[in-house]
Amino acid sequence: MSVLLQISDTHFGTEQGAVVEALGALAHQQRPDVVVLSGDITQRARPAQFRAARAFVDRLGAPVLAVPGNHDIPLFDLWARLRSPYGRYSAAFGTDLEPVHHSAELLVVCVNTTRPRRHKDGEVSALQIDRVARLVEQADPAQLRVVVVHQPVAVTRAEDEPNRLRGHAAALQAWAEAGADLVMGGHIHLPYVMPLQGLARPLWVVQAGTAVSSRVRDDSPNSVNLLRWGADAAPGCCRIEQWDYEADDRAFRLDKVSEVRPDRT
């Protein structure tokens, strides 16, 4: 079995120490094969915040794939934002802003949807759409095909519609046709699993809440996602687990399970 741990919107600089420790304990207990950081790793893209985030992920004991979020580009330091918007991010997480993970059971393709000229909005370009589609088309039938963005490609609440990724419609059509199974994101601090309709083949959106930050939504505690896929899972089934932080136990506990069956015909 392959296990993927999705952590999003950690917003280091607003992290809660007890929640950070609990997430570290969860990772050591579950032993994921890969960790995905789907953006907004820091609160204000400050060097100390990136150092704290890097120190934390180094404790998790698994390869890390990260994409920047809008908070990972300097906001108030206009000189840094214009001249080297990803300099601080790259110092901590590397210069590859769109890493790819290959294993026998997983293909994870990351997309940088931030734009330095925008404050919050994300965007996916035609070139990025084509790049992802080509990689997914080459996937092995045994691989779960996961695309990672920061801003959501689909939302469940009208209030979140302004946060939807620009270019999402063309991206979803192309990625579904190429054979993608899941599109993971964050940004809105609201976890859900959502099937998409009207595409060439089944595709699901997997959104994560804020992992360790105090910036939780009123009805959503700190949470992360665990995905399980492969030989020891139910045949052809991807198990998506939402783990929520419970303050009384000072631990993450399994809250919800969604099972999806990617199309392999």
Give the pLDDT mean for 51-71: 97
Residue 177 and residue 172: Cα distance in Å, rounded? 8
Residue (of 48, 39, 257, 28) closest to 148 by Cα position: 39
Q: What is the pLDDT of residue 235?
A: 80
Q: What is the pLDDT of residue 234?
A: 76
pLDDT at 184 over 70: yes
Give the pLDDT mean for 130-146: 97
Q: What is the pLDDT of residue 32?
A: 97
Identify each DSSP E strand in the chain by its residue range. 2-7, 34-38, 64-67, 100-102, 106-110, 144-148, 182-185, 192-195, 204-207, 223-229, 238-246, 251-260
pLDDT at 77 over 90: no
Do the Cβ atoms of 60 and 40 come closer than 8 Å?
A: no
pLDDT at 82 over 80: no
- Give the pLDDT confidence of 15-41 residue by residue, as tens digits: 999 999 999 999 999 999 999 999 999
Interhelix angle 126-137/168-178, rounded to 10 degrees, is: 20
Q: What is the pLDDT of residue 231?
A: 64
Confidence of residue 162 (pLDDT cuts 50, 70, 90): very high
pLDDT at 220 over 80: yes
**CA distances in angstroms from 243 to 80, 81, 161, 215, listed in the order given:** 36, 35, 25, 17
- In the three-class reduction of DSSP (H, G, I as helix; E, B as strand; rest coil), residue 148 is classed as strand
Q: Report the half-sphere exposure of 133 (CA within 13 A, side-chain side).
A: 16
Do the Cβ atoms of 74 and 81 come closer than 8 Å?
A: yes
Comparing 17-21, 74-78, 134-138, 169-173, the range with the smallest average pLDDT is 74-78
pTM for the model stands at 0.96
Confidence of residue 118 (pLDDT cuts 50, 70, 90): confident
Residue 70's identity, in one-letter code, is N
